[in-house]
A and B are shown apart, each in its own frame.
Chain A
Amino acid sequence: MNSMIRSPRIVAALVAVIAGLALALLLLNKNAGVASADPVFSGGLKSSVSPGSDTALLGLKKANPALDVAGARLVLADSAGSLWLTSSSNGDVCVLEKINKPDTQDAVSSRFVCKAPAEAAVEGVIGGVPGHWFGVVPDGVDTVYSGQDGRSTPVKVTTNAFRLPAEATSVTVPGAAPAPLVTAAP
């Protein structure tokens, strides 16, 4: 045994095997997104679109290469566009939005928002621009509350996802403090 260990070829082979296994494990871990591993966001709809080959969604990887676009799950589709739940390689919970018809040629085609999992489990992940807000919340939350003009209006959550009315100035996820929203473009 000692003579085997002393053999440079055997030692080199063992080092190479260990390096190869380490890289394989790294790759496996890289592809295991929070969206599938985190049980608190389990929603998903059937989709004929493969997010990993969709131009608008895949383009978000140019902004943030850590986004797991190919592993995204459709959670809402309406006339405005679609929302997709996924993760980034640092473990953040992320929601992607593909916009169906950008208003003008130079408009935004897609956007994303990510939040650390501990915060996302309480506050959800809320994103958008003034007059156009959306979000995802954990399993078990079926209603969030949109605040506007001193009133609070319930908004139904389906498949972990929701959109807020255009006039919303805040959103409240049950169990979390009301979150103010950006209300006017600069």
Chain B
Amino acid sequence: MNRLRKLVGGLVVAGALAAVAPSLAAAGTEHYCAGGLSAGWRCASGNAHSVNSMYVEVVTDHTACAAVGWGFGGYSPSGSVSLVACTSGSGTMGGWRNAVSDGHGAVYNPNGSTTDYIYDAHASW
């Protein structure tokens, strides 16, 4: 019975540790711009961040680019963005950009005629 208890206890502890192990928690995360994004438009997070590193990710149904934007939040037809990673077609893309000063997480729809659907866009730091 004692051996059974030890076995059970070990399995439960191992399982609990595995469940809480995932790692690399970001200091902060901001989600933004889920929904339709018109052709040629871009959309940026509402808050600017001055951080040593910004990580961005975008999940979309069509070609789009994860980006860092400057000087605007929300939707814009011409706001300033610097591309981090683009897809060809639907998918998920993102990356890591160093030394961001007053940057917004952003997404850009490069297509001339297609509205993209953004399932998720977020920036972490």
Chain A residues in contact with chain B, CB under 8 A? Answer: 13, 16-17, 19-24, 26-27, 56, 58-65, 88, 92, 94, 102, 105-116, 119, 123, 125-130, 135, 171, 179-182, 185-186
Contacts and interface: CB of A to CB of B under 8 A. Distances in A.
Contacts, number: 159
User: Is chain B's binding surface mostly helix, strand, loop or mixed?
Assistant: strand
Nearest to A90: B92
Nearest to B29: A62
* Size category of the binding interface on chain B: 35 or more
B95 interface: yes
Given A64-B57, A119-B90, A123-B89, A186 B97 contact: no
Contact of B85 (A106, A107, A127): A127
A113 B22 contact: no
Interface of B: 4-5, 7-12, 14-16, 18-19, 22-24, 26, 42, 53, 55-57, 63, 65, 81-101, 108, 110, 124
B91 A63 contact: no
Residue of B24, B85, B89, B91 with most partner-chain A CB within 10 A: B91
B85 A179 contact: no
B17 to A, nearest CB: 9
A127 B65 CA distance: 10
Given A59-B96, A64-B57, A108-B97, A129 B85 contact: yes
Highest count of chain B CB atoms <10 Å: which of A62, A115, A126, A127 = A62
18 contacts: A17-B8, A17-B11, A20-B8, A23-B11, A26-B19, A59-B53, A61-B24, A63-B94, A106-B98, A108-B97, A109-B97, A111-B93, A113-B91, A114-B91, A116-B90, A119-B90, A127-B88, A129-B65
